[in-house]
Structure 1
């Protein structure tokens, strides 16, 4: 049974909109993460960097927006199934309300993973 996803979906949409307007240096993933950390801080968006959910589940950012905790994973390049499996694991944690993949890899996601809203934002969208 699906829980009420509306608050999570709204917060996820707001974060996706913010990220879609950013022009980050995608040549190196760690550099892009550092840039994103600066931009989130400047925007006053609450987050934890590399939040440990378990020994093997550490999203790049756990953003809190409107009380919703969104696991943000940044991937400049990666295998699609590996990314999806990683997001599936994040969705199993109670500390995560929604999932956002910020990537240079062309891929889609279902609207929800393990009953948690999910979306993809292209790292290249703002450069177009």
Structure 2
């Protein structure tokens, strides 16, 4: 699946960065600066519905990918949030950039999903 290639490339690029992990809003601002500097097309806090507002909706040539940033959060809450996002037609894939140690299934609601580690860039 072509969208997966785009997702893995983006996740790899994100993991090489040293984003702040102290405050989620600061991390999001740093991610936004990085995406902009790389010329990646995205919408910030795109309203999929009144309740579903992912941090970034990234436009790739193969479809739209949600990028959700979580510095620290309960695993079940993160999964439920991604599950809701995956239920939207406009979403073709999900990337979770997180400091929380967790995995994701290969698909959520039929949409590919991957985890990128916030800590990897600091190793």
TM-score range, shorter chain: over 0.9
* Separation in structure 1 between the aligned mates of residue 53 and residue 4 of structure 2, nearest angstrom: 22
Alignment match, 2:122: 127
In 1, Cα distance between equivalents of 2:5 and 2:15 = 15
Q: TM-score scaled by structure 2?
A: 0.97
> Aligned Cα RMSD in Å?
0.7
CA–CA separation in structure 1 for the residues paired with 2:70 and 2:9:
20
Q: Does 1:45 align with 2:40?
A: yes
- SS state of the match for residue 46, structure 2? coil
* Alignment length (residue pairs): 123
Structure 1 SS opposite 2:58: strand
Structure 2 partner of 1:34: 29
1:71 paired with 2:52, answer no
**3-state SS of the aligned residue for 2:90?**
coil
What is aligned with 1:3? none
C-alpha offsets along residues 31-66 of structure 1, whole Å, 9 cap, x if unaligned? 110111111001000000000000100000001122
Structure 1 residue aligned with 2:101: 106
Runs of 4+ residues deviating >4 angstroms: none
- Where does the alignment leave 5 or more consecutive residues of structure 1 unmatched? 1-5
Question: Are 1:91 and 1:116, in contact at CA under 8 Å, matched by a contact in 2?
Answer: yes
- After the TM superposition, which of the residue ranges 111-120 and 63-72 deviates more from structure 2? 63-72
Stretches of structure 2 that go unaligned for 5 or more consecutive residues are: none
- SS of the equivalent of 2:68 reads strand
Q: Out of 10, 16, 21, which is 1:15 matched to?
A: 10
**Contact persistence 1:11–1:68 (CA under 8 A):** no
